[in-house]
Structure 1
Amino acid sequence: MVKVASFNFDESEILQELYAQVLEANGYTIERHPRLGTREIVEPALEKGDIDLVPEYLATLEAFLAKDQTKATSDPAATQKALQDLLTPKNITVLDFAQAIDTNGFVVTKATADKNKLAKMSDLQPVAGQMVLGGPPECPQRPFCLQGLMRVYNLQFKDFKPLDAGGPLTVAALDSGDVDVGLLFTTDPNITLKNYTLLDDDKHLQLADNVAPVVRNDILTRGTDAKTLLNGVTAKLTTADLTDMNKQVGIDHKDAKDVAKAYLTSKQLLR
């Protein structure tokens, strides 16, 4: 029995399905824990053994575990090594990382961008004081969200509005003008669909958030092929693939399970 979990957003559930279905097709019994919550809930559950596997993002998990001593960089291999050093005492392994990368992106509507001549994050500096930032409730405590915006870009927003993790509430708030700047993931199809301006992270606040599964060691020792199967999925996964699957689930309202199955079949990962 392998307990596979995801965070509380579409992309994470898609990734959960990709990894779960490949194991399932190869004789593993899977117990799914979809949308278990934020990292503050999921990571302790993994450490306790309540779950066995969760698809993660290298730099965000490294910074979450390292607190102020983060060694996360824009280099995925170095970030993966720093992360493994933190996971080893917990009997957890981070497997291979994907080419697919998804970081926090900060977006504005085209009207806001045109009015304030915004193309990159540092362009916000003179106008942030009149602007409301919208993002996930945990954003003010996160180094790659409000903390980082203040530290790296010296941005002081008029207000912060807690919404969701790059989901429909954030999109609706941007469209209605309830927030001026919204946090969406860089793989969000809404960015293109709604012609939002994704502000260029010109001071490199966001780091190597490549996708990689983290797994309890006892799963890897129990089945010799688990590692090979999981790495096989990761090896194929590109950022474009992820954005496309996010569109199918978030915009076309397809089921994450079906979208994952179609993808795995197309890549010859399911027989």
Structure 2
Amino acid sequence: MFGTATVLLSAALALTACSSSDPLAGSTTSASPAGTTTSGGGKTVVVGTANFPENVLLGSIYAQALKAKGVTVEEKPNIGSREVIYDQVKSGALTVLPEYNGGLLYFVDPKATATSTADVDAALKEKLPAELEILKSSAAEDKDSLTVTQETATKFSLTTIEDLAKVSKDMAVGGPPEFKKRREQQFKDVYGLEFKEWKPTGDTTADAIKDGTVAAGNVFTTDPKIIINKMVSLQDPKNVFSAQNVTPLVNKAGVDDNVKGVLDAISAKLTTEGLTQMMQKISVDKDDPAVVAKEWLTANGLA
């Protein structure tokens, strides 16, 4: 992103970085803070999560992997949104939290303009307080995407958002009601996209893509409908959508090299596709998150 367009886009991203693609920003339910205790003379690692299924799944993956390596773990799932649980990690009441790096950066620095994974992580390392640390980010992201059917991708040779420039004038695009306001100018400046029509499709965007109401739409990358309907989320090489990589946030005083090594090993294996497949089992097949977590850990040699 260069020139005048870059300045405009950076300002816009600062305002919208986590506005529609930040899972932890969604709820405010609170719970009593977890207390770090000791067991057998060693510190108990307290794994907390926000109160939505994907974060609970990730917390279970972390907790079960740590237990498999002999770490004493206490689980505190479903605590609430970032506004509730961030301070608990900072204070040490929670030791580990599955985070999303882009949303976390915007939370600690609302003026941040970093969008790529590397830049977001670098900015976080500068902005986080001394008590906190992020570990290695995974490739898995729960973020906004522009998604199309496999048929559309094949017909027009679409791999990236930029590829849409040659056909977007004949296409309708769908998303939440605020999608056009937030993204129309960005898409035009960065990728040269001008859609024929913007349709508000809300939570039914994936269905609207499937039935042809829209040719492309704003779908979260871990939505199981992407897999179920064999859709294609187009790559975003110029980072219009800020990175939202699953990233462990830890209280430095509560973790040692063993804990860090276990969590880094998880991040090395976790992908968006794998996370989406697990979420399909939970949201569609109604499998228990702990069971799904155990299956994934076993399949990846981590438990």
TM-score, length-scaled by structure 2: 0.63
Match 2:76 to one of 31, 39, 47: 31
Report the secondary structure of 2:249's partner residue.
Answer: strand
Q: In the alignment, what sits opposite 2:134? A: 94
Q: Which AA in structure 2 matches 1:257?
A: A
Kindly provide the CA deviation profile for residues 27-72 of structure 1, in whole angstroms up to 9, marking residues without a partner as x: 22211117x4xxxxx2222333288343223344334543343234
Change (3 A) 1:108 1:240: closer
Q: Which AA in structure 2 matches 1:185?
A: F
C-alpha distance in structure 1 between counterparts of 2:152 and 2:283, whole Å: 24
Match 2:229 to one of 190, 194, 209: 194
Change (3 A) 1:30 1:199: closer
Kindly provide the CA deviation profile for residues 86-122 of structure 1, in whole angstroms up to 9, marking residues without a partner as x: 2226x3221122244554321133566688x472434
Q: Deviation at 1:190?
A: 3.4
Structure 2 gaps of 5+ residues are 1-34, 36-45
Whether 1:109 and 2:149 are equivalent positions in the alignment is yes
Report the secondary structure of 1:182's partner residue.
Answer: strand
Change (3 A) 1:193 1:81: same
Q: In the alignment, what sits opposite 2:112? A: 69
Whether 1:80 and 2:121 are equivalent positions in the alignment is yes
C-alpha distance in structure 1 between counterparts of 2:141 and 2:289, whole Å: 19
Q: In the alignment, what sits opposite 2:267? A: 234
Identity of aligned residues (%): 29
Change (3 A) 1:55 1:249: same
Report the secondary structure of 1:67's partner residue.
Answer: coil
Change (3 A) 1:238 1:130: closer
Q: In the alignment, what sits opposite 2:198? A: 158
C-alpha distance in structure 2 between counterparts of 1:248 and 1:12, whole Å: 14
Kindly provide the CA deviation profile for residues 168-188 of structure 1, in whole angstroms up to 9, marking residues without a partner as x: x43333334555432233455
Change (3 A) 1:236 1:191: closer
Structure 1 gaps of 5+ residues are 37-41, 164-168
Q: In the alignment, what sits opposite 1:221? A: 253
Q: In the alignment, what sits opposite 1:211? A: 246
Computing the radius of gyration over CA atoms, which structure comes out larger, 1 or 2?
Answer: 2
Runs of 4+ in 1 over 4 A off after TM superposition: 110-115, 124-130, 137-142, 145-148, 154-157, 176-180
Q: In the alignment, what sits opposite 1:48? A: 87
Higher mean C-alpha displacement, 12-21 vs 253-262 = 12-21
Report the secondary structure of 1:80's partner residue.
Answer: helix
Count of residue correspondences: 248
Q: Deviation at 1:141?
A: 8.5
Report the secondary structure of 1:98's partner residue.
Answer: coil
Change (3 A) 1:47 1:200: closer
Report the secondary structure of 1:55's partner residue.
Answer: strand
Whether 1:182 and 2:231 are equivalent positions in the alignment is no
Q: Deviation at 1:130?
A: 6.6
C-alpha distance in structure 2 between counterparts of 1:203 and 1:223, whole Å: 35
Kindly provide the CA deviation profile for residues 136-192 of structure 1, in whole angstroms up to 9, marking residues without a partner as x: x786797xx6674465345565343432xxxxx433333345554322334555334
C-alpha distance in structure 2 between counterparts of 1:111 and 1:223, whole Å: 48
RMSD over aligned Cα atoms: 3.8
Q: Deviation at 1:84?
A: 1.8
TM-score, length-scaled by structure 1: 0.69
